[in-house]
Structure 1
Amino acid sequence: MNPISPRVLLVRGMLAGLLAGAVAFLVAYLLGESKVDAAIAIEEAGSALHDHAEDAPVSRALQATAGLGTGTLLYGVAFGGIAALVFCYALGRIGRFGPRATALLVSGGLFLTLNVVPFLKYPANPPAVGDPDTVVRRTTLFALMIALSLLLGAGALILGRRLAPALGHWNASVAASLAFVAAVGLAYALLPGVNEVPADFPAVLIWQFRLTSLAIQAALWATFGLVFGFLAERAIAPVVAPKEAVQPTS
């Protein structure tokens, strides 16, 4: 495998992130926007300010199309670049995996630490749910959970590498995974919970919105892993010189 500049992989990571963001936008638009509209309708039905939608500085139609698309594309490009740098470090250090397998492992690891672990503690809620006065507190707790998840994930990876010489790769991976789960469980227990869902809000809509939010992230990271793995393999594959024809000797 030829050495390659991280800049080359960074560019490919951002390109893969752009494509992944486009897929995430399609999933969000097709599956998520109807849940957002339903939540807004419930909020407006219970509010005396029925002209809320007309007074909004940005129309709902623009939010659901150009606004959503711009946000998901920028998100994909940004995290695609970050994931590419993680890939540069992980390649050859987490086992004898090729570029495609490493890209999928990195994508799966980032999806787990950035999305799944924080989601299980602080699941996403539609716009109509939550006290506006606690938005700063809720955002801070969610960001803290993401930071803890990333640190614990990195710690588990380091622990697995340290234990591998003594326990073997499989046993070390199991031990590191169990340590990660235990540490995440401790973080869940210590961090305060947030439950601001109104008692009369439809539970089905809440969970549909939450599962859709998770599906959007899953689509983004799965697409990134597949596309970036392909691009990275093409970038770092050794150039095999064609064999010279052997001239028969007389």
Structure 2
Amino acid sequence: MDTLLKLHQATKTIPNESDLDNTILDHLDLTIRKGDFVTVLGGNGAGKSTLFNSITGTSLLTSGTVTLSGQEVTNWQEEKRAKYISRVFQDPKMGTAPRMTVAENLLLALKRGKKRYILPRKLKEQRTRFEKICESIGNGLEKHLDTPTGHLSGGQRQSLSLLMATLTQPDLLLLDEHTAALDPKTSKKLMALTDQVIEENQLTCLMITHRMEDALVYGNRLIVMENGKIKLDLNKEEKAKLTLEDLFVLFEEEQVSPGI
């Protein structure tokens, strides 16, 4: 299977108050193949969000390289990478413009990574398409095309964020604990929708989660991070043998390890 993303010796250090470098990512090597759906686990400070920031260009590496579809993008700014990478954040407020309607947000998502020109919006021409897309979610979002997103529920807003992130089928989808701020019932529905969207569009995805059940149920690969490194990298068959108890034991060992 073709390699989509490769991080080689990815290192991120940040000076602290003692003028010593605090290592967030520590010579991390990671290869993601096209079609992979990788769940990412790790305790606080493991480097998960920094990994995502390094992939998107939100934070550039101190050393090491990032290669996307065979092209090195290590020094590319976030705006340039946005043509190929979409990200959904934990906070439902971060993925949408609150004063714009649902339809306007979707129209904005169609232009992700493209040059912007002063042209007619052509919103009416897209309305039927947007209705069908929203209707497929099953939470009534299609009835709120003219509603400002700031008036939506958290679940509806996060569903919209997912639709916006996948509307133009990005090369790589990053899900940054995108269900964490939702109640259990809404979170379960959004994860089912997520799995459906990824499978139907054959997307490549990395998903950070603190829900160990989701890490076991979804995806074809599981990564566990610790201290800026990848502690475990399990394929589908290896992951299938894991139980929740195994993961709990793994994280208990992490908590009592020296230096943590």
- Could you say which structure has the higher helix fraction? 1
Larger Cα Rg: Structure 1 or Structure 2?
1
Measured against the shorter chain, the TM-score band is: under 0.3
- TM-score when scaled to structure 1? 0.24
- TM-score when scaled to structure 2? 0.23
- Could you say which structure has the higher strand fraction? 2
